[in-house]
Structure 1
Amino acid sequence: MRHRLKDVAERAGVSVKTVSNVVNGYQHVRPDTRARVEQAIAELRYRPNLSARNLRKGRTGVIALAGPELDAPSFAELARHVVTAAAERGWTVLIGQAAGGPGRERSVAAGIGDHLVDGLIVSPLASTADDLAGRDAGTPVVFLGGCGDHGPADHVTIDDAAAAREATAHLIALGRRRVAAIGARPTAEGTGVRLRLAGYAAAFAEAGIAYDERLVASAPAWRRADGAAAVRHLLTSGVRPDAVLCFDDALALGALRALHEAGLRVPGDVAVAGFGDIEDGRFSIPTLTTVAPDKERLARLAVDLLADRIDGDRSSPPRALTVPYRLETRESTLGR
């Protein structure tokens, strides 16, 4: 039998309102009263009726999360943390795909499922802040990276430029001078991509090394096959790199395979670094040096920002939060 607030109130000897205050986390409840209510909840195994609560608030209790490709390892790992953070608020997460370039990402950000979800978290890859600026503000939206400092909505990200600069500087400090970058896009590049390219170029300027555009390889998507194809192109283009910075770990895993097929040693002949710190990179041979964002914190802050917009002020200026990262140096640049 499903127990009600009334049953908990009777067991604890308090009013239904007091039980509601405890369940909803209100602070102004006496400690001894809260303890009695929590004990009654445990004894009766009471679970709040979230559907009824959401209906009273005019909410669905559902949010959406959209990323470039559902099977992209970096997005999948981030999605797991978003689902966990959302579940702690009693939210269900619908997950959708926004692959297809700025047009599709703009369509998703414009309010996909306006009547189905309370809010939306979007992880853009191809879009710039201008691409996303025309979205309808009806449904709260939070962006995970990709919008720069002046995005059209709240967003949380790492410092892409600083991270790329640090990873490139690491490769240069190892004595590498022909450091390639894999992950530029052949069409309009998203803000995150541009920031990583800017950080990559900045590391050359700081080291006094001439920037060579021939070492920048595009990738139509950030998949293993694209990373392998980019390396093959570089090896046959006449500008042979002695190090590679990939803008995503999936690209780096593909790069490792292509270098192996070409008979090149990593890191002896070519050092490789990635972005994202996906689990596969910790088990690859060699293990992958990578920029490691705090993915759990990224996800939690995105959910917190979205909750603030759903329950609070939707008209205040967009907020931009930056989450720490670290450079995980492993075998693909340091050797065993």
Structure 2
Amino acid sequence: MAVSLKDVAALAGVSAKTVSNVVNHRPHVTARTRAAVEEAMAELGYRPNLQARGLRSGRTGLLMLAIPDLTAPYFAELAHLIISTAAEHGFTVLIEETGGEHEREVRALRGAATLLVDGTIISPLALTAADLEGKQGAAPIVLLGERLTGVMADHVAIDNVQAARDATHHLLRRGRRRLAVIGHQDDPHAATAQLRMRGVTEALATSSDATLLPPVAVSGYTWAEGAAAVDVYLGRDPLPDALVCFNDELAIAAMRRAYELGCRVPDDLAVVGIDGVRESEFVTPTLTTITPDKAELARSALASLARRIGRADPPPVRDVVVPHRLVVRESTAAPPSRDPGATISGRRRGR
């Protein structure tokens, strides 16, 4: 026989109403009472009927977070912040890994509706505006990162153009003049790549003597893609003297591969990333990176959901731009004074 609310109340020595308050994360329950109820629930194996609770209250206390890759440092950090911030407000977060694939992103939204979640936060790479038509009626959706034109959903992101512009200007100020990017994608729908490339080219347009070397396209923002791009760039002439990497994963892999090929960072090659992941502080050399305020991103995403959950008359759609800052470290130190024709692994540098 299923364990009931009254069974838990009897074992904990409290009223059924108190057990209900604990289950529904309501305030005004002392820590001691809450602990007694939770201990009784665990001992009896009590599991609240979330669907029944949702039908009665219109809320389940569940949120869905759908992100492309749980192994990516940026998304792992972001998921941690969203989960911990949601918990402060009494929400439990369910996580769906989509791989950035269209079918899996659509399935995540469909599954969110089936699970009766109160709202969904999704970082889409393949969704289209058509996929989201009619989805906002059941539960609100907040988009992270990628902006989908014509979608009636709140959007939270950094200014990708300005972030790449800031990274590029920093390299120019350090005297770098032959720049290359890692993170360019040929797909015109790869919004983040397109916006960050735009920021790089806009910054380079302010310099009369800096050039952007022909870009190497990547299929994703992974360690392997970063290393493979360096293989191509260091096999060309002229060699780059700086890399703008569109995330830190690409940047860290690029630095490692450059080291293996006898190219010194930052003496021969300066490297800057975007994302500000913790690993950037602990590699050698430490990585200069554009660091978004990820805690603010998590707070803004949850605040956007909160202002819509349970509202019959939802507020206007809004775009939230989260601030970022340039964190300067060892990977972009000014190059030492030397003969312009000095070699890297036996190859003369381009002039």
TM-score, scaled relative to structure 2:
0.78
- When structure 1 is superposed on structure 2, of 49-58 and 265-274 the one drifting more is 49-58
What corresponds to 1:87 in structure 2? Answer: 87
Alpha-carbon contact 2:230-2:254 (below 8 Å) kept: yes
Q: What is residue 2 of structure 1 aligned with on the other side?
A: 12
Cα distance in 2, alignment partners of residues 314 and 233 from structure 1: 54
- Where does residue 64 of structure 2 map in the other structure? 64
Deviations 1:21-69 (A, max 9, x none): xx856xxxxxxxxxxx66xx34534769895865531222211111111
Distance 1:238 1:245, change over 3 A: same
Alpha-carbon distance between aligned partners in 1 of 2:77 and 2:298, rounded to the nearest angstrom? 10
Q: Partners of 1:176 and 1:219 in 2: how far apart?
A: 23
CA distance in 1, matches of 2:203, 2:296: 27
Using the TM superposition, name which of 264-273 and 133-142 deviates more.
Answer: 133-142
TM-aligned CA distance change 1:131 to 1:260, over 3 Å:
farther
- Whose helix fraction is larger, Structure 1's or Structure 2's? 1
Whole-Å separation in 1 of the counterparts to 2:157 and 2:277: 17
1:147 matched residue in structure 2: 147
Identity value in percent: 40
Report the Cα distance in structure 2 between the residues aligned to 1:87 and 1:122, rounded to whole angstroms.
18
Deviation, structure 1 residue 4: 4.8
| Inter-CA distance 96–109: structure 2 relative to 1 (3 Å threshold) | closer
User: Match for 1:92: what amino acid?
Assistant: T
Aligned length: 310
Q: Does the 8 Å CA contact 2:213/2:240 hold for their aligned counterparts?
A: no
Query: Unpaired segments of 5 or more residues in structure 1?
Result: 9-15, 26-36
Asked whether the equivalents of residues 120 and 142 of structure 2 are also in contact (C-alpha less than 8 Å), the reply is yes
The reply on whether 1:269 has 2:268 as its aligned counterpart is yes
Change (3 A) 1:3 1:175: farther
Worse overlay, 89-98 or 278-287: 89-98
What is residue 232 of structure 2 aligned with on the other side?
233
TM-score, length basis structure 1: 0.81
Distance 1:293 1:204, change over 3 A: same
What SS does the corresponding residue of 1:104 show, helix, strand or coil? Answer: helix
Cα distance in 1 between the residues matched to 2:261 and 2:277: 25
How large is the Cα RMSD of the aligned pairs?
A: 3.1
Distance 1:240 1:200, change over 3 A: same
Give the corresponding residue for 2:119: 119
Partner of 1:204: 204
The alpha carbon displacement at 1:189 in A equals 3.7
Residue 192 of structure 1: how far off its partner (Å): 2.1
1:318 is matched with which residue? 317
